[in-house]
Amino acid sequence: MFERWLSREARLSSARECLWEFRTGMIPAAVYVVVGYGAIFVMSIVLHEVAHGYVAFRCGDPTAKMLGRLTLNPIRHIDPFMTILLPLMCVLSGLPMFGGAKAVPVNPYLFRHRVAGERLVSIAGVLVNLCIAWVLGALLHLVLYLDVASPAHVVILGMGILTNLLLFVFNMLPIPPLDGSRFVRTFFPEPLRALFDRMDPFGIMILFLVIIVFRAELRTVLLGGIDLLWRYFLRLDAETFNRVLSGFGEAVGWH
């Protein structure tokens, strides 16, 4: 019994020391940045998918709800490639973390008003990402104004903003299977909509082909969109942008 009590006390003492080291800055800021940013990244892609499912449910399609996808539990939304492998590849190659969650199943034939439902569901996820970016931007403005932000806080909030802006701009591209293509197709005549539907099973292949062939053009579009939203929607300046990227680069070991 004494050994068990001693073991428990030792564990508690170790946990208290670890917490004290973290609070007093003895644990490297890089750990704080990676964990904080990783949490924002995971919740951003989870909320993106939950938004699709919730709006579909409100429009009359209970598929996502019946399959247990209207939950904030990240495990229910994990996709082996988009959620694990792709973000890991981005970090190891020195790129900002990017990826996605498992797509929420939607049956548009159950919508009370099919076209309106498809439009609302298709843009629900990206609008959530835009809202997250706005909230994080407001927090960043606040901590900078009050001068209470450590470099790590600036990096975490800033990278969270950039990730959600990237999710918004990238997903709004009218390329199957991205949300932008699903939104645009609702304005097409039926023959073109049928063509988009036939392309959907090959969406990932089409997307990777576009990324490979039009890499420079895609980079210009993404960076241009993020820059406009950063400056004019969030009212953040270039100096803050540079602080965020340089701080994140130091945290993950970019040179």
**Catalytic residues, which ones?**
49
Of the candidates 85, 86, 87, 95, the one whose C-alpha atom is nearest the C-alpha of residue 38 is 87
| Cα distance between residue 242 and residue 225, in whole Å | 17
Helix-strand-coil split of the chain, %, nearest 5: 75, 0, 25
Tell me if 155 sits within 8 A of 146, measured CB to CB. no
Tokens of 249: 């680069």
Residues 6 or more apart whose CB falls under 8 angstroms from that of 19 comprise none
Residues 6 or more apart whose CB falls under 8 angstroms from that of 145 comprise none
| Cα distance between residue 16 and residue 230, in whole Å | 39
CB count within 10 Å of CB 185 equals 21
